[in-house]
Homo-oligomer: A and B are copies of this chain.
């Protein structure tokens, strides 16, 4: 069992009508606020107005960067960093889903860097400082609201790179389940797949782990399986949205990791799909994950699949391990492709094998998948991509 350091200092206001605390929290870090957001959905749901009102009430100065896209681009990071430098921004306020939050984290770091922000992704410059970040979340998926990571895309080089720097950890996050009521079925489903993937990337590990954390992980997945169908059926079901929202944070804030040090598998593969085809991250994960499970299931790994099947899907534990394992993969497929209604193959979303080889090579390099649960060389990744056709 490996040692670890637990350090998740983000303060969270969870629930409805908590934005009355926004002004106080922002004011702790200064006067000049850069509000970052995406395509304007926060205006439609009235969130923008509420936030601007709180900022004005607190006597703060407001600057804005809008138009941050899904799979956020390094161009947005550079644009935001320019504003920070020009306007002497004190604190960043990211309002949106994971894309806006991730982009804002990089803006906070790039504000202290003179070159192209892509250098941060290429690790050409250390990230030792970051402007303080406060977030208001509108999508339960990436967990960016409570972790120090982010993923940025560079369309010019067809790269999508995820990194984690402790200084990027949000200081405060506002999680209001009602802010996710208007998330459509597709993005609710993709968010669910993303949350489950975050847990599975950690859960599937053959190291001697803390059993206690395994029970937590199984509970998180069961929560997503229980409540996503409710949220799809009744988008304004508070209980469902609340469970999904808090689960999204805990699936990736670091708590479940304990001392596990292995590399992730499906995320590096999916980042290539998104980089090449700009698809929604959670959809890519839903298509990839069951195939990755099929590919990595073997004599050495079967016991973990068995545990997953018995504890998450309540499959009869008296069945042979391999049978439980296969059933569990089948049930996960059923959940993603029938219950959530997500497309089940790359073919269905218009992706063919054209770029598999180069994507696999990049995934292997950027994701260190050689060190994963079941080590994956580029060839293995290519095989898994093919299984998704």
Contact = CB atoms under 8 A, between A and B. Distances in A.
Given A210-B243, A212-B246, A3 B14 contact: yes
A227 B8 CA distance: 26
B5 A243 contact: no
B11 A5 contact: yes
Interface in A201-235: 208, 210-216, 218-220, 222-223, 226-227
A9 interface: yes
A11 B6 contact: yes
A5 B176 CA distance: 12
Contacts of A216: 215-216, 219
A12 interface: yes
Given A1-B238, A18-B3, A239-B1, A220 B215 contact: yes
Nearest to A240: B211
Interface in A1-59: 1-9, 11-18
Contacts of A220: 212, 215
A242 B13 contact: no
B8 A8 contact: yes
Integer count of this chain's copies in the complex: 2
Contacts of A214: 219
Contact of A4 (B5, B15, B219): B15
B13 A5 contact: yes
Contacts of A3: 13-18
Interface in A292-326: none
Nearest to A17: B3
Contact of A226 (B9, B14, B211, B243): B211
Contact of A208 (B9, B12, B208, B239): B239
A223 B218 CA distance: 13
A104 interface: no
B6 A14 contact: yes
A238 B247 CA distance: 29
Contacts of A12: 5-7
A237 B247 CA distance: 32
A13 B3 CA distance: 8
Nearest to A222: B215
Interface string A75-106: 00000000000000000000000000000000
Interface of A: 1-9, 11-18, 208, 210-216, 218-220, 222-223, 226-227, 238-239, 242-243, 246-247, 250, 258-259
Q: Which 9 A-B pairs have the closest CB atoms?
A: A215-B219, A3-B15, A6-B12, A212-B223, A7-B11, A9-B9, A212-B243, A212-B247, A4-B14
16 contacts: A1-B15, A2-B15, A5-B11, A6-B12, A6-B14, A7-B11, A210-B243, A211-B226, A211-B243, A212-B223, A214-B219, A215-B219, A215-B222, A216-B216, A219-B219, A246-B258
Given A8-B8, A210-B243, A212-B220, 13 more contacts: A1-B239, A3-B13, A3-B15, A5-B14, A14-B258, A14-B259, A210-B246, A211-B239, A212-B219, A212-B223, A215-B219, A216-B219, A219-B219
